[in-house]
Amino acid sequence: MAILKKTVVAMSVMVAVSSVQAATPSNEEMWVLLQQVQQQLTDVQQQNNQLLVENQSLKTKVEQTEKTVLEANETVEALAETTEQAVKAVSTSANNTTIGGYGELHYNNLEDEDGDKTKKVDFHRFVLFFAHEFNDRLRLFSELELEHSIAGESQNGEIELEQAYIEYDISSQYRVKGGLFLTPVGIINETHEPATFYGTERNNVEKHIIPATWWEAGAMFSGEIAQGFSYDVAISSGLDVSKEGTKSTYKIRDGRQKVSQALADDLAYTGRLKWTGLPGIELAATVQYQEDITQSQDPTAGSATLFETHAVIQRGDFGLRALYAIWDLDGEGPKADGYDEQTGWYVEPSYRINEYFGVFTRYSEWDNQAGNAVDSEYDQFDLGVNWWPHEDVVVKLDYQNQDKPANGESDGFNVGLGYQF
Amino acid sequence: MGLILSSFTVFARGVYQTDQDFLTEVFNNSVPKSKVVWMKADLASTVAELLGHKYAGLRIRYWRNEQRSAWILEEIGKEKPITFGIVVAEGKIENIKVLAFRESRGGEIRHPAFTQQFKLVQLDDMQLDRNIDGVSGATLSVRAMTVVARLALYLDKFTG
């Protein structure tokens, strides 16, 4: 038993010694351990250095990318700027010469009280505008027109130069033009693109009294007195109702010489005042004086004075056009047959249903021999619709009823197709 | 240089206000930095719809502070570009002006009697919410002003 105890004690001591030996390594072991730790530290440091290098390189790359992005931005900016300027330059230089035009095809189906029918289709007007800007202040404007499709010997139509003038801006308020230009009178004489007015045919008052389309050669000065208040004064060639020396009817429309080897013995003096001070409203009046309405071909013709005034109102969907014109021919010749007074007026209310459709009605009266008691007055009632599939394209349909002094009544309908660009 | 520039402004036909003067007036001397809106595919087609034709540039520059945005836009009337200055506040036109007019007809659209019709006008389904009465003989200039008003209102919303 005593031996067993000793053995147990001895074993316990050995265990204790060996456990004490494990907790405190020897110097050699410590050295190995230290070396291991040292190695690990070196590794970490190396990794750290590597990371530092990588970080630095990333930073450089980011900076480079930022720089590239910035440069790319600047390049895009420069490219956009250059492209836009190039586009602008090209379009501006191309815009120095511009073309435009308008055209209208008409179908008339009319019947007089004797039952005589007139059915016609006619490409009434095919017009080309050519304009050129020499510089910011000096420009050319021209209008060349083919009427009734075919021109030439024994054909119905004609080719006409209706405008060809040089215009110069003296300042933003004053300008002067010289050449062949439309007389500043009436509503449709200067603005007659089909999409701008109601009715297939132009109104008869402006046609027979003014007489539209009316152009002369000369010079015109235009100015602005106040906001929306302008004037035009012109000296130009005039009418010749004598038909090259032969006494004619003195009818104003027949006196248009169209600046075609036109007699220029006597000039015409025109003045117009126009007020457009409120949106949608135009009020204007024109006076013209001609020294001799036959260019001194007929000693009995005398001088002539035109007075015309009109209003164009378009407020919201409601429109109204009204015009009055009167010629006073001074001589004994015109007086003999009542041509000393040639006058007419019309009133045309309209309603724009929407962007595409508008309806109108017009009542007009005109008389080229109003100076005597003989009945020579025409009157006409129109009712119709305009359809604009595009703001520059128009289809027209209208009914007309005309009272003539000689042939009595006639009525019928007209269809038109027109465009402008 | 200033003298040359200002005399140029006086004599150049129809330059009523320079772009810079317009912006200085609108932002009371503290003009914000300009921004651009690029004519990317979707926007380009909407802009074409508003204008009635493709926009000729690649982007449109504008100026905006907290209260309002200002736009300088060009649109051809009949033949030549008209420069418009437009101020939009809270989705409505605060002011529209003709800065430069180069057409030979239709200059009446610059008068306040005409431009005041645009005050407080806003977009309603891509159209102006109010009828604009035209100027006799200036149909195309009126059309140009109506179109840029629509464009400025749309872009104000798009970029706002």
Strands B127-128 and B123-124, bridge-based pairing: antiparallel
- Given a cut of 80, whether residue B6 has pLDDT beyond it is no
How many angstroms away from the CA of A160 is the closest CA of chain B?
A: 23
Predicted ipTM? 0.80
CATH code where residue A301 lies:
2.40.160.10
Which residues touch A155 (CB under 8 Å, ≥6 apart)?
A148
Q: How many structural domains are present in chain A?
A: 1
How many angstroms away from the CA of A262 is the closest CA of chain B?
A: 29
Residue A200 falls inside a structural domain: yes
| This prediction's pTM | 0.82
Residue A381 falls inside a structural domain: yes
CB contact B102 to A (< 8 Å) = yes
Average pLDDT over residues B98-120: 90
Q: Give B-chain residues touching A131 at CB under 8 angstroms.
A: 79
Q: Give B-chain residues touching A228 at CB under 8 angstroms.
A: 108, 111, 113
* Domain boundaries, position A278: 108-121+190-420
Rounded-to-integer distance, Cα A104 and Cα A125, Å: 5
Residue A276 falls inside a structural domain: yes
pLDDT at A114 (0 to 100): 87
Residue A181 falls inside a structural domain: no
CB contact A392 to B (< 8 Å) = no
Residue A194 falls inside a structural domain: yes
Residues of chain A numbered 127-166 and touching chain B (CB < 8 Å): 131, 133, 136-137, 139, 141
Residue A221 falls inside a structural domain: yes
pLDDT tens over chain A, length 421 residues: 555 555 555 555 555 555 555 567 788 889 999 999 999 999 999 999 999 999 999 999 999 999 999 998 888 888 888 887 887 777 666 678 989 999 999 999 999 988 899 999 999 999 999 999 898 889 999 999 999 999 999 999 999 999 999 999 998 789 999 999 999 999 999 999 999 999 999 999 999 999 999 999 999 999 998 888 999 999 999 999 986 545 467 999 999 999 999 999 999 999 999 999 999 999 999 999 999 999 998 899 999 999 999 999 999 999 999 999 999 999 999 999 999 999 999 999 999 999 899 999 999 999 999 999 999 999 999 999 999 999 999 999 999 999 999 768 999 999 999 999 9
Q: Give B-chain residues touching A91 at CB under 8 angstroms.
A: 56
User: Residue A162: what residue type?
Assistant: E
- Answer whether B136 sits within 8 Å of A84, measured CB to CB: no
- Substitution target in B136, B139, B145 with the highest count of A β-carbons within 10 Å is B136
- The 8-class DSSP code of residue A264 comes to -
- With a pLDDT cut of 70, the percent of chain B lying above it is 92
For A72, other C-beta atoms within 10 Å of its C-beta total 10
CB contact B33 to A (< 8 Å) = no
Decide if A272 contacts A296 (C-beta within 8 A).
no
In this complex, the residue of B14, B108, B112 whose CB is nearest that of residue A276 is: B108
pLDDT at A330 (0 to 100): 95
Residues of chain B numbered 120-149 and touching chain A (CB < 8 Å): 131-137, 139, 143
> CB under 8 Å, gap of 24 or more: what pairs does A376-380 form?
A376/A338, A376/A405, A377/A405, A378/A204, A378/A208, A378/A402, A378/A403, A378/A404, A378/A405, A379/A403, A380/A204
Query: Could you tell me the pLDDT band of residue B1, with boundaries at 50, 70 and 90?
Result: very low
